[in-house]
Structure 1
Amino acid sequence: MSEGGDSAALLDTLAAALPPERAEALRAAYALVRSTMPAGYEESVSGRMICWSVPLALYPKTYNKQPLMFVALATTKGHNALHFPLLYMSPAHDAAFRAAYAQAGQKLDMGKGCVRFVSAEGLNEAAITNAIRPVGVEDFLAAYERARSGSSSQA
């Protein structure tokens, strides 16, 4: 993982514009994702998102010629968001993520792969850690290739 100089600056900028509870939650999510990220992903800024992606040097054949995003952190007018493309590419990962929230008795505010939260209490550390830590670059690329090919045996 590369150093997050630009992302740390963006984090400060985003947090400064938020109410204290949301700023705290944004910082907590950043720290959790950063501490959990497996080796091989690159931390960068894309627009107003902090992204952890597969570097183009490792996988240049992306659909948009941009690094393949594994996780992104953003904030919108009404909430913070963690984006997990793997959750909509892999039914198994999605089910495990949702089950972790259910087991903890936590409300999950989620779209296809976007987890919305306004406070640190809205983050399920176990679910987020389990969605990130065991997924090395090779595993993520395999899931991406399966999803792009339309394979029904998505892991």
Structure 2
Amino acid sequence: MNIEAKTVNEYLSKLPEDRKAAVTNLRDTVKENLPKGFKECINYKMIGFVVPHSIYPAGYHCDTKLPLPFINIASQKNFVALYHSGIYANTDLYDWFVAEYPKHIKTKLDMGKSCIRFKKMENIPFDLIAELCQKMTVQDWVALYEKNVKR
């Protein structure tokens, strides 16, 4: 499901009715819990939270015109996804999240390398997502990104 939108509000307005509340709540949870410095935007046709060029002028190595991505939220065909680059790049953070998830939600975790998939909107652990968002600052993410990219 590709949603063509130039702004976050436009993205949210184009969501199917059964996804609007969950995606809005997920976005609000991320926005309210991320440390200062991340910027919200549309990134890769999704809601994105990025490190802006004003903080990290080098940008994203795949396309330096783009800011460094950190978290994205998307409504896909069969699920809502939260993409968290920190989980992908930091095995301790990944292990923490995997261990904590069953304490919040009884269903099995559906997760890829950075993608957490929610097929049922009532199974989004907003409190756990809030805690996850608080675990990495902009400076932490830039340092980890540079360490991993400059290998």
Return the TM-score normalized by structure 2.
0.84
Q: Residue 45 of structure 2 corresponds to which residue in structure 1?
A: 48
Aligned partner of 1:26 in structure 2 is 23
Runs of 4+ aligned structure 1 residues displaced above 4 Å come to none
- Match of 1:94? 94
Deviation by residue 1:78-103 (Cα, 9 ceiling, x = unmatched): 11111001111010010111111023
- Helix, strand or coil for the counterpart of 1:72? strand
The residue type paired with residue 128 of structure 2 is A
Shift, 1:60, TM fit: 2.0
Alpha-carbon distance in structure 1 between the residues aligned to 2:121 and 2:76 = 16
Contact 1:37 1:132 in 2 (8 A): yes
Between the two proteins, the alignment pairs up a number of residues equal to 142
> Per the alignment, do residues 91 and 82 of structure 1 end up closer, same or farther by CA in structure 2, a change over 3 Å counting?
same
Q: Partner letter of residue 110 of structure 1?
A: M
Aligned to 2:71: 71
Distance in 2 separating the partners of 1:115 and 1:140: 19
Structure 1: stretches of 5+ with no match in the other structure: 151-155
The aligned counterpart of 1:124 is 125
Greater helix share, structure number: 1
Whole-angstrom CA distance in 2 between matches of 1:38 and 1:74:
21
Q: CA deviation at 1:32?
A: 1.1
| Partner AA of 1:102 in structure 2 | P
Q: Which secondary structure does the structure 2 equivalent of 1:81 belong to? A: strand
Q: Per-residue CA shift, 1:17-44, capped at 9, x if unaligned?
A: x252x33221221121111121101110
Instruction: Using the TM superposition, give the Cα deviation of residue 130 of structure 1 relative to its aligned residue in structure 2, in angstroms.
Output: 2.3
Contact 1:54–1:69, Cα closer than 8 Å, also in 2 = yes
The letter for the 2-side match of 1:83 is Y
CA contact (8 A) 1:87 1:112 kept: yes
**What are the Cα deviations for residues 46-89 of structure 1, in whole angstroms up to 9, with x where unaligned?**
24201010001211223021111111111111111110011110
Q: What is the DSSP-based 3-state SS (H/G/I as helix, E as strand, rest coil) of the residue aligned with 1:144?
A: helix
Query: What is the RMSD computed on CA atoms of the aligned residues?
Result: 1.8
Question: With structure 1 as the length reference, what TM-score do the two structures score?
Answer: 0.82
Instruction: Give, in whole Å, the separation in 2 of the partners of 1:78 and 1:43.
Output: 24
> Matched residue of 1:59: which SS?
coil
